[in-house]
Amino acid sequence: MAAQRRLLWLMLACYFLAGVVPAAGETLRALALRIPACGAALTFPMVLLAVMLFNAGLGVRVADLRVVVSRPVRLILGVAANALLPLLVLPLIALGLRTWPDPAETEGLVVGLMLVLAMPIAGGAASWGQNAGGNVPLVVAMVIGSTLLSPLTVPLGMHLAGQLVGPYGVGPLDDTTKVDMIARTGAGGFALVSVVLPCLAGILLRIALGEDRTRRTVPTVKAVNLVNILLLCYINAAGALGQALAHPDPDLMVLALGLSGAVCCLTFCCGRWLARWTRCDQPDGIALTFATGMNNSSAAAVLAASWFSHRPEVLLPILSYSLLQKITAGTAGRPPRPEKRPLTGGTTVTERTATPQR
């Protein structure tokens, strides 16, 4: 789709701007509203993330979800695959990074990759899946199911990251205590407040407004989402890329890009393998591929910037993954080419390989 292609180039422009002029992004990221009742702080990036998830919930048609829930096997498989895959992938990565000469860098990369893989399925998976001819209601249901599980899956992922990078992991990370603290307290609350509740609020508002009035808000919602995504992209990248360019480390940047690209391709390949293994029809198979392969990198970047702003090696793989998963989705999400079927008399008829959109 044209919107995704433009978004990719706009994201690259935001990354460039964040590396050249990071001060404004760092200032915006530092904006926070203290909540006296619980002693927590609501940061500006968390507000932007909540607005993005609210708009995602506003785009969910409850009638479509009822049809998907009535046949829950594919739905459960997609949510489970997205949640459990990091538990298999990250230990292998940590083991492979033991030979890297700088343990602090490898530990930061492991934590960053765990953060992005522990996040729920990205809402953008629905639009990419639709462009590829997938079962959109199934993707949306997977996004909702994964989002509702995030207060459990995100702390579990952080706990695993703490085990992998602690004294018995790839090396004694100086922030091991912080990782454990996020796993016990911060990650679950973050997922609930910034991810689950805004999404549910958007769904409830759509029910209250009705389909006709909601449909009229679609252009405004899309415009707000575009600005939101790009602003989040700039703010999250400002700290990491600014520090990386101020103290360039080409080996670290290449390693971050390479690992992110390898993991991103692996998750998409696992989704395709699951689709073939379960003998899905093509629309369901496409839905399963995108649900397994795409994670909410914006949420991961917000959480990483809140806790690890002084560690650019944590944010680098998240930013790389955010960009690379869109490139991978664009490659995997090309609309099916028409096939020419010969008829008698030398004529041909053209038909799509995918079944019609449901």
**Residue 95 placed within a domain:** yes
Please give the backbone phi and psi of residue 210, each rounded to the nearest 5 degrees, phi first. Answer: 90, 160
| pLDDT beyond 70 at 100 | yes
The span from the CA of 357 to the CA of 187, in Å, is 37
Q: Which domain holds residue 288?
A: 2-337
**Residue 107 placed within a domain:** yes
**Residue 342 placed within a domain:** no
**Residue 250 placed within a domain:** yes
**Residue 267 placed within a domain:** yes
**Residue 222 placed within a domain:** yes
Contact 319, 237 (CB under 8 A): yes
| pLDDT beyond 70 at 356 | no
The span from the CA of 284 to the CA of 75, in Å, is 10
pLDDT tens profile 308-328: 777 777 888 888 888 888 888
The domain spanning residue 93 has which CATH number?
A: 1.20.1530.20
pLDDT tens profile 118-147: 888 887 787 777 777 778 788 888 888 888
| DSSP codes, 181-211 | HIIIIIHHHHHIIIIIHHHHHHHHHHHHH-H
Contact 82, 295 (CB under 8 A): yes
**Residue 346 placed within a domain:** no
**Residue 348 placed within a domain:** no
DSSP state at residue 295: B
Q: What is the pLDDT of residue 3?
A: 56
Q: What is the pLDDT of residue 142?
A: 85
What's at 192, amino acid-wise? L
pTM over 0.85: no
Total number of domains in the chain: 1
The helix (run of H) or strand (run of E) holding residue 339 is strand 339-342
The span from the CA of 14 to the CA of 196, in Å, is 27
CA 16, 290, 88: angle at the middle one, nearest 5?
Answer: 90
